[in-house]
Amino acid sequence: MQPQVIIVSDSLGETAELVTRAALSQFAGANIDIRRYPMVTSAAQIPAIVREASMRPTLIVYTLIVPDVHQALTTLAEQAGLVAIDVMGPLMSGCMQLLGQAPKLQPGLIHQLDEAYFRRVECVEFAVKYDDGKDPRGFLQADAVLVGVSRCSKTPVSMYLAHRRWKVANLPLVPEVPIPKEVFQVQRHRIVGLRADPEKLAAIRRQRLKTLGMRRDDGYAELERILGELDYADEVFRRLGCAVIDITDRAVEETAVRVMELVNRAHAPAQ
């Protein structure tokens, strides 16, 4: 009968299968059937697996964190005369000695970490895609929408929140540019206005123009123009009925935390 390897895991079993295939690659011409039993979280599931393994030549490879499930497989496999290899056990023991602390013994933690990582990547991609109002559809999908005049930290705050797994879209307010209708469809508690002291904003804009090597003949960094933009922004904030943060003396992190506080008062975004 064709020999088999049975992978038993309290998570998905990917780690054990990867290690098994790496080992089998060292045996030329090996024709092995690999079967995976994922999400084994109860000792009651073990007898059926061992019976299946006893039907033909079998090697059991397992990654079981929960002690009673681990013990059940070890005991029943030994009684059935089966070879069972614990992939995680020796490594966990080594980590305990190295770190001087006990493991959490919680199945599936690595996949929870993976999910958090991919959620963060998704949110960063969202922030880039819907930065500066590039696509109005993003406003209705966002956990938070930031609005404000140019150089009010909308993009840096959006990116910071993205790394906290928030989907954020932002919109620059320019008097000559109409506001997308989608913004007015967003729940008001999800919208936060950003404003700044006009003189400091002027200084930031002058530095921005200098960095870009641009001339200052369009009024972009002129105080009169900025005062007009801020008046326009205040009117938009009133129309939207949104909360407003003055970012003048705030670090990006402080502003981001304040945005989260304001939005979470009414509704926390999915994490």
Residue range 177-213, pLDDT digits in tens: 999 999 999 999 999 999 999 999 999 999 888 887 7
Q: Are residues 100 and 117 both part of a single domain? A: no
pLDDT at 270: 45
Q: Are residues 41 and 151 both part of a single domain? A: no
Q: Are residues 178 and 72 both part of a single domain? A: no
Neighbours of 253 (CB within 10 A): 11
**Which of 104-108, 165-169, 206-210, 246-250 is predicted least confidently?**
104-108
Q: Are residues 17 and 121 both part of a single domain? A: no
Domain annotation covers residue 269:
no
pLDDT at 269: 45
Count of the separate structural domains present in the chain: 2
Q: Which of 80, 107, 134 is where one domain is finished?
A: 107
Residue 145's beta-bridge partner residues?
169, 191
pLDDT band at 10 (very low <50, low <70, confident <90, very high): confident
Q: Are residues 28 and 140 both part of a single domain? A: no
Residue 76 in contact with residue 103, Cβ under 8 Å? Answer: no
Give the domain extent around 191: 110-264
Domain annotation covers residue 256:
yes
Q: Are residues 76 and 140 both part of a single domain? A: no
Domain annotation covers residue 270:
no
Domain annotation covers residue 183:
yes
Domain annotation covers residue 271:
no
pLDDT at 95: 80
pLDDT band at 267 (very low <50, low <70, confident <90, very high): low
Q: Measure the CA–CA gap between 230 and 194, rounded to whole angstroms.
A: 10
Neighbours of 107 (CB within 10 A): 20
Q: Are residues 101 and 121 both part of a single domain? A: no
Q: Are residues 252 and 118 both part of a single domain? A: yes
Domain annotation covers residue 173:
yes
CATH number for position 35: 3.40.50
Chain segment 72-110, per-residue pLDDT in tens: 999 999 999 999 999 887 877 888 888 887 777 666 665
Chain segment 35-84, per-residue pLDDT in tens: 999 889 899 999 999 999 999 999 999 998 888 999 999 999 999 999 99
Average pLDDT, rounded, for the chain: 89
More confident residue, 167 or 89: 167
Q: Across residues 156-180, what is the average pLDDT?
A: 95
What is the percent of the chain with per-residue pLDDT over 70, rounded to a whole number? 93
Q: Which of 107, 135, 151 is where one domain is finished?
A: 107
Q: Which of 47, 72, 107 is where one domain is finished?
A: 107
Domain annotation covers residue 96:
yes
Q: Are residues 18 and 115 both part of a single domain? A: no
What is the percent of the chain with per-residue pLDDT over 90, rounded to a whole number? 64
Q: Are residues 212 and 155 both part of a single domain? A: yes
b/e per residue, 192-216, with b = 16+ CB within 10 A?
Answer: bbbbbebeebbebbeeeeeeeeeee
pLDDT band at 271 (very low <50, low <70, confident <90, very high): very low
Q: Are residues 95 and 167 both part of a single domain? A: no
Q: Measure the CA–CA gap between 45 and 224, rounded to whole angstroms.
A: 74
Q: Are residues 88 and 162 both part of a single domain? A: no
**Alpha carbons within 13 A on the beta-carbon side of 81:** 4
Domain annotation covers residue 9:
yes
